[in-house]
Structure 1
C-alpha cells in the first residue's frame, strides 16, 4: 500500500472519529473524551492534510467549525461565519503566531518600536452565542452551531440576567450583532449540582456542559432557573461605525450595557502577552469561572482586515491553551485508604498520564456512591481531571473502550490497615416524633484509634497549623512516633522525652530540642483551636470558632445537648449529634483529661457570648422536642396558654381540650408525649441546661462589649506584606468581625493588598469601603488600642 493510500485510510478514520466527537460535544453535550484527546486527533488530521493536500475535501472537519444544529430549535444562518480560533499549545506556537502577524503586516523583525499591540482576555469555557440587536432591542439569540448555521435560542438567552434586552446609552448601530460566551460561574455550578442530586437528577460533569445544557432547554423556565452569565468578546454584523480597535469596540459594548471581561488588557508585543498568560495562569483557580486558556487578538481592526482569514480561523487571533486539565488513561486497580474518622475511601490506581503538566498515577473516586454513579470498573479507560492543586479525580468512563475482562469495584469487608470490620454509615433524619434511617455513602473502619491509619491521621490533624500548630511535627515524624508505639493518642505527645525524639530517624540534638520546644509552646491553645484540633467529625475550623465564641468554655461545649447546639447558627441536627456523641465517648473524654493533666491549658475561656444570653423561648424548646403533630404555630400557642414547661407537662386532658389553636390530634399527642417519663425528663434536662448556660428565656440579658466589629463582614484579597492573611483574619475575628471569602453587597469593608483582582473590582463596582494595607493596619491599631 502506498503512503497516500495509508494516509487516506487514516484520514477517513480520523474524520469519522472527530465527527462523532463533534456530535457528542456540540449536539448532545455529552463529550466522551477530554479536550486534549480531541485536539490531538484534530492536529493529526491537519498534519496529514498538509502533507497530502489532494486528500482535502469540503466535508473535512478542518474545513468547517463544530457540529450541526439541533432539529428541536429553529435554524439561524449567520451572515458572517462564527469561526473558531487557532490554538497555541506551547510557547513557541505563540511566538510563531506573532511572527506570522508581523510578516503579514510587513513589520521588520526584531524592531521593538514596531511591536504589535494585542488585546488579552481569558478564554471562558462556555457556549459561544450570537445576539442580534435591532434599534437597540434584542431580537434574536443563536448558538454558533457549525459556524454557518446555529440554533435559535432567543427565548432562552432572554432569561440570562446580565444580557440587556435593550441597549443602554446612545450611539449604537441600527443593527448590531454581539458575539460572546455564555458560561456558568463555579459557585452557581456547584449549587446547581447540589440541587440536581437533591432532586434525584444526574449532576453535570463540568460548568461548560451545564451552560450548554441550560441554553438548549425547550422550556425557557428551566434556563431561567440556571445561574448563567454572558461575557461579550466581539461583534459580527454591524450597520454602523465602531472603534478602530478591538478593545475600543468592547468598551463601547460595555457602555451599551453588555458585560465584557474584567481581565481585559492591552499588551504591547508578544513578551507582554507571555507575561499576561503567566499571570492569569497563576490566578486561574481563584477566578470565579472556568477558563482553559487566553485569547490574544490584534487590537487594530485595520490590521485585522489586512491579515484576513484562513479556512476556519482568523489570522489575527489565537487561543493560547493551558496545559490539558483532562486526560484519558486506564484504571489499573482500586485501593482503599483509611482517613482520620475511619472513612474508607476508594483511590484509583492509574496508568501514569500527564495532566496539566504533572504525572498522575492516582485519583480520588470519593466514595462508593460515586463509583456506582460513574459505573466505573477496573480495566476501564477513564477521563481524569486535575485543576491546580486539587487532587486528581475520575470524571467519567469511555464505555466504548471497556475491555471484556473488566471487573467490578468492591468494598473490603475488613479494614485494609487493622483488619477491623468495615460498616456502612447510616443517615438519620429526625422529624416530628420519628427517625428515618437510610444508608449513607461512607463506609467506616470501626477500629478507631486502635487502627494505626486513623491514629496517624488524627495526630496529623491535631498538630496542624490551624489546630495546635506544632511546628516541625510533619507527617513522616508522626508515622515514626505511631509505628514505634510512642504515641497512642494526642495526649502522648506531651509525654515525649529527649531520648524518644532523638532516637527518631533524621533527628540530631538541635532538631530534637526544637521539636520539644514547639510541643511545649503549644500547651496554651485558644479554645477554638483546641476544639478544632480534637477532630470532631464534620466540625471544621469555622464551626469550632462558632462553638468557642458562642458557648465560651470547653465545659459547656462538652456538656451541650444536641438540641441546645442547634440554637447556634449553621449547626444542624447531624452536626449537633456528632459533637454530642464525640464528647460522650469515654475514650475521647479520657484523652481530654490526659491533655489537661499533661499541661495543656485552654485559653480564652469565659462566659456565654452576650448575644446568646436569654436568647431562647419556650415555644422554640417545644418545637425542638419534635412532638408529633405539633408544628411551630402549635408550640407558640402552647407556650402562650401555659407559660412554663412544667405547666405543660402537668396539663390534663381537660386543660388541653379547652385550649384554642391546637387540634384534637395535636392535643392527644402532647398528652401522650409528656405522659412518657423519658420524654418529660428529656424536656426538663433541656430546660435545665438552658438555665445553666444562661440561654433560658428567664436568664439575665447582657450587652455585648469589647467587639467593635461585631456584625460586620470583611474580605481580605491580594497579598499582605506585613502579616499573613491568616494573622489578619485572626485579628479581625478577635474584634468580632466575620471574615468571608467572597464580596457581596453585605460586605462592610475590603482589605486589598498588592495583586488584588476580581474581588477588588467587584468591591469598587458595589461602592464598598476599601482599605490598603497601611490604612488597614492603622484601623487595627485604633480598634485594638
Structure 2
C-alpha cells in the first residue's frame, strides 16, 4: 500500500485531540510512577511521548495549557508520610543527548560568565530514588525524599535501616566543621544489580512474584510503612552532594566528593574533573559501553560547572539549574506512529509483514521499520495502521515492536486482515499457510526452487556476470547442499566442487576463480542481483547514483527513496520492506564478513541526462551490451518510450508501437550507426 493510498485507511488525528490524549496518558503514567510506584511503561516510553508533546507545543504554542505535563513542576506525594519542606530545592537537570547539545550548553554559560575559565565535574547518573540525609551536629536527624522538589516525605525510620547510611558522620581532619550545625547529604537510594537478581531468585523459589527492575523496587521499598520490611531488602545509599548553610564551605563539586568520602558516605569513584569539552566527551564515550558493567543501573552522566560560586551565580531557568546538564545515553525504547504495514517475500517464499513508521531514534540509531514476523504476531499485538507503538532494539541491533499504546489509537482504525493484505499487495501470487506453521508462503514454490532462481539471477550477465555459474551448475550446488543462500558461493572451495560429478579439475578451478573475481562487484550490479522486488537494472543504477552505498540505501526512508527519479511509492515500499527483513540483513552482513564489498563508481561521460530505448535487433551488439555501454557513459537505458526518452534506436524488425510513441512524444529516432557514433563520442 502506498503512503498516499494509506490515507483512506489512516486518517491522522488532528493535533488538538492527540495532544489531549498524550497529556492524559502522561499524567496517568506520572501518577503510576511517582505516587503508586507501579509504572506500567518504561522511562524511555514516557520520555519519548514527552518529547512528542514538547514538539507539538513548540510548533503550536496556542495549544499549551497550564495543566500540561510540560508545565508541571512536581507530582503529588504519597499519603502516610509526614511532608517536609526542603531547605534548598532538589532540582532536576536539563537533558542533553550529544556533543553538539553539550557545546550549546557551554556556549550559553560562557555568555553569562564571559572571560571566566571553568572546570567541568562529571559523574555517573544513578538510577535510584533521590533522597536528602540531614545531619545535625554530625548525627542523622532526618531523611527526606525529593518529592515534588520543594516538599518531600520524611522516610527517616526506613533510611536508618540502610546499612551503609552512617547514623553519625565520621570525624576527619580538615572536615571538622561538617560535624557542627546542619549538614545535608544528597544522593540516591539504589538497589545493586546483583542484589536485585538474588532477591528475585529468592522470590521465585518461594513461588512469589518477581520484581520488575531495581529502581522501582528501591523506590517502593523506601516508602513501605514497615521498617522491618525495608531492613530485609538490600538497599544502598550513594551521595552526590553536600550542602552547608555557608556555601563557601563547599567551594567546588569535586571538594563535595572529597567531603563525602571523609565523612563516611558512599559515593561513585568514577567522578572526574576536566578543563575542556574534548576530555568530557571522552569520558562520556568511555562510559557509553562500560556503564553496563557498573553495579547499579544508569542512563547517563551528570556534567556540572565545578566551581560552586559560578554554579550558583548562573541561577535557574525554569526548574533546571543553568550550571549543570544530564547527558542521556540513547534510549533503548521510543514511541512512533505506524504509517503502513507492507509484506516482504523472502528467499524461501515466506511472506513477512513489516511495520513502516515515522523515523525514530532507538539505542543511538534512526529506525523506520520493524519486522512483525507473521500473522499471529500482528493478531497478538493487535497492531493497526495509525497506531502509536513502542519500539525497542533486540540485542541493541534489530528494531522490534514491543507494544501498542491503544489509548492513542485513531477512532477509525481497522484491524489487519492478513490474507486480504496478501491478495491486495501480491494479486499475481497465491499463498498457503502449511499446517503447524505460523508463516504464509508462496504456493507451489519450495525454498530450494526459489533459491535456484535467485542464485541464477544473481550470477546472470545483468547482475554479477559470474562465468560458468549457469542454471545447471546452480542446481547442482543447491541440490548437494553446498549453497544455502547467495553469499555461500563465496565460501566454495575447489575441493567442494571436485566431489561433484559435474566438475573436473579445470572446470572447478574456473568457477572458483570466476566467483573470486566478483568480490568487488559494481554496486548497481550487486543491488540488481539481490532480486529486490520492482528493482530492475536501471532502477538499481538510479538508486546507486543517488545513495552511493548499501549502507545509505538501507537507512533511506520512503520519502528519501521517492526523491529518486523513477522511484514511486510501490518501489520505495518494496526497498524499505526488503531491508526490514531480518534474513536479508543477515545476508548482507554475511557478504561483508566474506569480504564481498560492492564498489560505487560514479559514471562519467557524455551521455549524462540522455536516455535511450532500443527496439528491434542490433547487428554489432546485443541489447544488454548496448545497455551496458550507454550506462557506463552516464546515460539511462529504458525499456519503453516515455516523455523523457531522448533517443529511440531503431534496429532490424522495428516494433511499430514504439515508433508511434516516439513520434507522439517527439523523441528523436536514430539507427544503429548513429548510436555507435554517439557512443564513440
From 254, 260, 267, the equivalent of 1:260 is: 267
1:270 to 270, 277, 297: 277
TM-score by structure 1 length?
Answer: 0.46
Q: Does 1:160 align with 2:162?
A: yes
- 1:231–1:261: 8 Å Cα contact kept in structure 2? yes
Q: Distance in 2 between matches of 1:501 and 1:195?
A: 63
Residue matched to 2:516:
508
Residue matched to 1:105: 113
1:243 counterpart residue number: 250
Provide the residue aligned with 2:134 in structure 1: 132
Report the alpha carbon displacement of residue 501 of structure 1 after superposing the two structures with TM: 9.6
Distance 2:237 2:394 in 1: 23
**1:336-355 pair list within 5 angstroms:** 351=357, 353-355=360-362
**How far apart are residue 85 of structure 1 and its match?**
0.8
Q: Any idea what SS the aligned residue of 1:283 has?
A: helix
| 1:86 shift after superposition | 1.4
Q: Given that residues 95 and 327 in structure 2 are in contact (C-alpha distance below 8 angstroms), is that contact kept between their aligned partners in structure 1?
A: yes
Partner in structure 1 of residue 332 of structure 2: 325
User: 1:486 matched to which residue of 2?
Assistant: 481
Query: Could you list the per-position Cα deviations for residues 661-713 of structure 1 after superposition, in whole angstroms to 9, with x for gaps in the alignment?
Result: xxxxxxxxxxxxxxxxxxxxxxxxxxxxxxxxxxxxxxxxxxxxxxxxxxxxx
Return the alpha-carbon distance in structure 2 between the equivalents of residues 365 and 163 of structure 1.
Answer: 49
Q: Tell me, yes or no, if the aligned pair for 2:158 and 2:227 is still in contact at 8 Å.
A: yes
* Secondary structure in structure 2 of the residue aligned to 1:23: helix
Instruction: Indicate the RMSD between aligned Cα atoms, in angstroms.
Output: 5.1
Equivalence for 1:358:
365
Residue 378 (1) aligns with residue 416 (2): no
The answer for the alignment partner of 1:93 in structure 2 is 101
Equivalent residue, structure 2, for 1:121 = 123
Distance 1:378 1:139, change over 3 A: same
Q: Distance in 1 between matches of 2:479 and 2:390?
A: 41
Number of residues of Structure 1 aligned to a counterpart in Structure 2: 432
Deviates more, 1:142-151 or 1:166-175: 166-175
Q: Report matched runs for 1:394-433 at 5 Å.
A: 396-401=403-408, 405=414, 421=436
1:496 aligns with 2:503: no
Give how far 1:19 is off. 3.6
Alignment of 1:548-563 (within 5 A): none
1:291 partnered with 2:318:
no
Partner of 2:316, secondary structure, is coil
CA distance in 2, matches of 1:299, 1:481: 71
Is 1:141 the counterpart of 2:143? The answer is yes
- Long gaps (5+) in structure 2: 1-13, 345-351, 419-430, 439-445, 452-473, 485-491, 520-681
Report the CA distance between 1:28 and its aligned residue: 3.0
Asked if the contact 1:185/1:288 (under 8 Å) is kept, the reply is yes
d(CA) in 2 for partners of 1:20 and 1:182?
25
**Deviation, structure 1 residue 505:** 11
Match of 1:230 in 2: 237
| CA deviation after TM superposition for structure 1 residue 191, in Å | 4.3
Question: In 2, Cα distance between the equivalents of 1:313 and 1:269?
Answer: 23
Q: Is the 8 A contact 1:65 1:146 kept in 2?
A: yes
Higher relative contact order (CA 8 A, sep 6+): 2
1:299 Cα offset (Å): 0.6
Tell me which residue corresponds to 1:35.
47
- Alpha-carbon contact 2:123-2:270 (below 8 Å) kept: yes
In the superposition, relative to structure 1, how do residues 43 and 287 fare at CA in structure 2: closer, same or farther (>3 Å)? farther
Q: Provide Cα deviations, 1:732-778, integer angstroms capped at 9, x if missing partner.
A: xxxxxxxxxxxxxxxxxxxxxxxxxxxxxxxxxxxxxxxxxxxxxxx
CA gap of 1:185–1:269, structure 2 versus 1, over 3 A, is: same
> Aligned to 2:249, what secondary structure does the other structure show?
coil
**Secondary structure of the corresponding residue to residue 239 of structure 2:** strand
Q: 1:335 to 1:228 in 2, by over 3 A?
A: farther
The 1-side partners of 2:435 and 2:320 are apart by: 61
| SS at 1:318 equivalent | strand
**Structure-2 separation of matches of 1:488 and 1:41:** 51
Task: Tell me, yes or no, if the aligned pair for 1:285 and 1:388 is still in contact at 8 Å.
Answer: no
1:73 is paired with a residue of what secondary structure?
A: coil
1:605 paired residue number: none
The whole-number CA distance in structure 1 between the counterparts of 2:432 and 2:478 is 13
- Residue 34 of structure 1: SS of its match in structure 2? helix
Could you give the per-residue CA deviations for residues 139-187 of structure 1, whole angstroms, max 9, x where no partner exists? 3222211111222333333333433333223422432221112233344
TM-score by length of 2: 0.52
Counterpart of 2:83 in structure 1 is 75
SS of 1:276's equivalent?
helix
Alpha-carbon shift at residue 199 of structure 1 (Å)? 5.3
SS class of match (1:255): helix
